[in-house]
């Protein structure tokens, strides 16, 4: 019997930087998860804290009041091979409380990250040559600094092997998001990408901030609404309006840009949510500080009551790739489409190996109310 591995149920974010992985592209298989997860309970109201911000918001940030809310994503009406079918890890819906905090209005931009690098001389993970001792099975010729890039085929492909559209590209990093020939000139106002978890953490520390927990991120993304599928409400395109940078056309080979952007968009290109936060759905994925486990919501729900300021599980575990240490990603990206990965649905989750950046993964920071 052939072991079927649930390898990458979202748009490639569980691909890793591991050079060994890219040395053998033939073993990738994707299958529907057969985990049995209890069906979701329903959403309750969002009850925001009423106390005002303890101090004026730092530049570029907004006050998120915190409070109690229902976290998770509802069952999909159509459980297909992809998309919402792969969101069992965002159930059951459960009650969570988070304290108030400040959050960056936008993803960290290229200009902001450049200031950090200029001030500190920081070198990102993608710019460092992978060490043989970290990747003992990788052929030496694969030990080249670089990162994972969306490299779509020029023709329609089956959606069962993400290596058909994700490639490890030597020389790809935040200054060259899709490879050595690409650059970020004129893109100061775009989200920085090709950021590994420790890169995001280093930036956060330098700026006196931190990364959001997954619960903080979701509370903020919901913008005061309760149980809506999108950060702006019920309809994907209210009155025909595009509300987020997602993917139109046939995935992965054709990005028609009907929403105004082929590929990544500058920050603030689409309307903010109820808390004044931009791009909490689509454009680029965002790191959160929680380790990823698909059963974490079940664990919280089984404890009963309201989970207060949950920080994520103590250790990472992804049964699809048990050797990879993953943190949770949130928000989806310009590659999200209901054909493959509808992670612009607000309660859904992503995951990523901590040393792996991609050209659709960035981050934003938060700050505690009292500092």
Among 343, 349, 351, 360, which residue sits at the site for Cu ion (rule: CB under 5 A)? 343
Alpha carbon 70 to its chain centroid, in Å, reads: 20
Q: What span, in angstroms and rounded, lies between the C-alpha atoms of 307 and 323?
A: 28
* Between 117 and 341, CB nearer to Cu ion: 341
Site track 333-362 with Ca ion (rule: CB under 5 A), x = hit: -x----------------------------
245 touching Ca ion, by CB under 5 A: yes
**Segment interacting with Cu ion, rule: CB under 5 A, options 21-29, 94-102, 156-164, 341-349:** 341-349
Chain residues 306-335 in contact with Cu ion, contact rule CB under 5 A: 332
245 binds, among Cu ion, Ca ion, none (CB under 5 to 8 A by kind): Ca ion
- Count other Cβ atoms within 10 Å, centred on residue 59: 7
76: which DSSP letter? Answer: P
**Segment interacting with Ca ion, rule: CB under 5 A, options 120-128, 200-208, 253-261, 337-345:** 253-261
15 touching Cu ion, by CB under 5 A: no
Beta strands per DSSP E along the chain:
47-48, 61-64, 67-71, 94-98, 101-104, 146-150, 166-170, 285-291, 307-308, 326-330, 350-353, 361-362, 366-368
Work out how close the CB of 33 gets to Cu ion at its nearest, in angstroms, rounded to a whole number: 16
Say which residue the tokens 């069952």 belong to: 75
**Segment interacting with Ca ion, rule: CB under 5 A, options 33-41, 59-67, 328-336, 351-359:** 328-336
Q: What span, in angstroms and rounded, lies between the C-alpha atoms of 136 and 145?
A: 16
Select the residue whose beta carbon is closest to Cu ion and give its number: 341
261 binds, among Ca ion, Cu ion, none (CB under 5 to 8 A by kind): Ca ion
Closest residue by Cα to residue 224 from 76, 46, 95, 58? 46
Among 6, 11, 192, 196, which residue sits at the site for Cu ion (rule: CB under 5 A)? 11
As beta bridge partners, residue 69 has 96
**Segment interacting with Ca ion, rule: CB under 5 A, options 149-157, 161-169, 270-278, 326-334:** 326-334
Angle at 152 between CA 147 and CA 155, to 5 degrees: 160
Are residues 347 and 74 in contact, defined by beta-carbon separation less than 8 angstroms?
yes
Among 88, 176, 261, 360, which residue sits at the site for Ca ion (rule: CB under 5 A)? 261
Which residues here bind Cu ion, judged by CB under 5 A?
A: 10-11, 332, 336, 341, 343
**Which residues would be at the binding site for Ca ion (CB under 5 A)?**
245, 259, 261, 334
């Amino acid at each position: 019997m052939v072991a079927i591995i649930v390898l990458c149920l979202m748009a490639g974010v569980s691909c890793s930087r591991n050079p060994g992985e890219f040395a053998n592209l033939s073993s990738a298989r994707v299958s529907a998860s057969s985990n049995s997860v209890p069906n979701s309970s329903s959403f309750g109201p969002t009850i925001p804290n009423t106390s005002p911000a303890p101090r004026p918001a730092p530049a570029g940030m907004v006050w998120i009041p915190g409070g109690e809310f229902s976290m998770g994503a509802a069952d999909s009406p159509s459980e297909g091979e992809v998309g919402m079918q792969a969101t069992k890890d965002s159930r059951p819906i459960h009650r969570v409380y988070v304290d108030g905090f400040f959050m960056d209005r936008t993803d960290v931009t290229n200009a902001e990250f450049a200031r950090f690098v200029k001030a500190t001389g920081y070198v990102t993970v993608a710019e460092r040559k992978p060490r043989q001792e970290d990747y003992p099975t990788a052929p030496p010729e694969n030990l080249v600094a670089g990162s994972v890039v969306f490299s779509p085929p020029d023709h329609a492909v089956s959606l069962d092997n993400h290596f058909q559209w994700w490639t490890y590209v030597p020389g790809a990093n935040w200054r060259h998001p899709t490879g050595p020939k690409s650059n970020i000139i004129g893109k100061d106002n775009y989200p920085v990408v090709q950021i590994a978890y420790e890169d995001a953490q280093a930036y956060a520390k330098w700026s006196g901030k931190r990364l959001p927990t997954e619960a903080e991120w979701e509370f903020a993304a919901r913008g005061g609404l309760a149980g809506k599928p999108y950060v702006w409400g019920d309809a994907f395109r209210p009155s025909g309006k595009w509300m987020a940078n997602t993917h139109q056309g046939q995935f992965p080979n054709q990005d028609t840009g009907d929403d105004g952007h082929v590929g990544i968009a500058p920050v603030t290109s689409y309307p903010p949510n109820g808390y004044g936060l931009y791009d909490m759905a689509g454009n680029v994925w965002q790191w959160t500080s929680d380790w990823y486990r698909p059963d974490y919501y079940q664990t919280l729900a089984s404890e009963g009551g309201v989970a207060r300021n949950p920080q994520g599980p103590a250790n990472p575990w992804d049964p699809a790739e048990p050797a990879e240490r993953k943190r949770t990603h949130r928000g989806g990206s310009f590659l999200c489409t209901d054909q493959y990965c509808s992670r612009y649905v607000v309660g859904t989750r992503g995951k990523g190996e901590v040393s792996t950046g991609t050209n659709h993964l960035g981050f934003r920071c938060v700050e505690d109310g009292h500092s």
